[in-house]
Amino acid sequence: MINTVIPARGGSKAIPKKNVVPFLGRPLISYTIRQSETTDLVDQTYVSTDDDHIAEVSRKAGATIIDRPAELARDTSSTEEALLHALESIPESPEIVVLLQCTSPLRREDDLDEAIRLVKDEGYDSVVSCCEDHSFYWTYEDNTAVPINYDPAERKRRQDLDRRYQENGSIYVMKREILEEEQCRLGGSIGIHEMPKEMSFEIDTPEDYRIVEAIGKNIKFAAKDH
């Protein structure tokens, strides 16, 4: 059994009701629900929420609702707390849990299945979605800027830098026992599911929303035309 859990609490501050804000004409969360519902390997899609309106929208989009208690929906509540509560609420405990964040609506048709197969068929205990990162990074040490991943005196081309990946917040897949034992979405042998940079933006602020919606208008992504 493979189940998706989409956490969607109602207390967003930067964008009120962020999870159901209109995105390209439909509630934001509906894209993620549809992507999960139409993928080959997911058996059931759940939305964990404390908000009646989010629950109504999610139910209409095809998800089964998990009523999240208020103490697990505070600003300080972790996603892992919501996931573990969801496992207790799901009638038939899944072998594999897929965590999707609806604030990352841009996914390709095969992204979910490919990420799930890394756990189901390739032997990883958990998987995180990322995009390749060719950035030059700096930090401060003793009040002076210091390069992290390159030597300015021998500046490499970006494509010649050591390969790095940026976690994009879109897809997490884990064995149930890893989540329960580690109390964390990632643990054991961790695999990376690589996604394009243009599909690796999360909506946390109004500016993010404008950027992601502009990208969504101009690219094809799963559930865009449902």
**Angle (CA) 106 130 118, round 5°:** 100
What does the alpha-carbon distance between residue 168 and residue 150 come to, in Å, rounded to a whole number? 23
Closest listed residue to residue 35, CA positions, set 57, 61, 53: 61
User: Are the C-beta atoms of 9 and 50 separated by less than 8 Å?
Assistant: yes
Which of 155, 158, 164, 210 does the annotation list as catalytic?
155
155 in catalytic set? yes
User: Are the C-beta atoms of 221 and 107 separated by less than 8 Å?
Assistant: yes
Element (H, E) at 191: strand 190-194
DSSP readout, 151-178?
-GGGPPPGGGSPPEEEEEEEEEEEEHHH
What does the alpha-carbon distance between residue 100 and residue 200 come to, in Å, rounded to a whole number? 13
Sign of CA dihedral 179, 184, 189, 190: positive
What does the alpha-carbon distance between residue 168 and residue 209 come to, in Å, rounded to a whole number? 15
Residues 6+ apart with CB under 8 A from 39: 112, 113, 116
Kindly list the catalytic residues. Answer: 155
